Amino acid sequence: MKKILAIHTGGTISMSQNSRGEVVPNAKNPIAQEATILEGRVQLITDELFNLPSPHMTPTQMLQVKQRIVKAEAAGIDGVVITHGTDTLEETAYFLDLTLPSKIPVVVTGAMRSSNEIGSDGVHNFRSAIQVAAADESQGKGVLVVMNDEIHTARYVTKTHTTNVATFRTPTFGPIGLVVKDRPTYFQQLIHQGVCDLDHVVDHVYLLKAFAGMDGTLFDALNNDQTAGLVVEGLGVGNLPPQTLPAVQRLLDRHIPIVLVSRFYNGVAEDIYDYQGGGIELRKMGLMLCQGLNGQKARIKLLVGLSAGLPQDALQEFLKTAVS
């Protein structure tokens, strides 16, 4: 019988609607009481690590989840399921994917409807995640996200709808598998990536989104001794309005690393355009283009690289693509 650790961190999956229809945290996490959900098939060990709405999740707490998993693997656990709020689920999942050296299955799941809503998806997603974590086929696949009977990679999955239960999608590539008849069935294999085994995380890594008519105001607001790094969601394949460039250069003169991705969730950032503010000029200035990640994932990757103390050349190579 497989031993599966369920780490609960809070989120909608652990909340309930009150009499006014407002979704609020519970004093006791109802999903954590589902200890017999697959009784006789897995030994489920429960750890209520946090009870936080996902907007309250920070990289420091992500690191605590990572450390708990490492401890559990050393103790002989066979797989891990993490329940999490959906707003920042993809960021925690990707942080773990970048920092966990483990080969055991690690699966993150959540819910779009609270525990007492009609059509609540929490118990079903939790059950499916346990089934995926307990399957031999799930080993060595990196951190997975299981929602709505689909299996996604932490690297590429993103939340695409504010309320729909089918919100989690993998643009361009699609899910790598499905949960069919209580078993995971895989159709794709993820390309390998390296791991940074962190013991701390840095602060003050920021994310800005470009827009028509943007100037240097927001960039200059980050021009200080505290700023450790910046990710910019550029226009199109990775371009910026020319009015931003002097302020961007001032950040680069401070040796603040700046990563450029596209603000669109399909496709990749590329240095194609050779005009003022185009990707070719931005690359020559010193911005690092990251292909295949959205802004929030690229920020997590920059944060991990900085926390690992990677020198400039290694950091640039680490950030170049989603694969490293």
Residue of 12, 109, 153, 170 marked active site: 12
Longest dimension (CA), the chain: 64
Q: CB of 267 within 8 A of CB of 294?
A: no
Query: What letters, b where the CB count within 10 A reaches 16 and e where it falls short, cover 168-195?
Result: bbbeeeebbbbbeeeebebeeebeeeeb
In terms of C-beta density within 10 A (0-12 exposed, 13-18 middle, 19 or more buried), how is residue 308 classed?
A: buried
Query: Number of C-alpha atoms within 13 angstroms, CB side, residue 67?
Result: 11
List the one residue out of 315, 316, 317, 300 whose CA is nearest residue 99: 300
12 is a catalytic site residue? yes
DSSP 280: H
List the one residue out of 72, 102, 66 whose CA is nearest residue 2: 72
Catalytic residues: 12
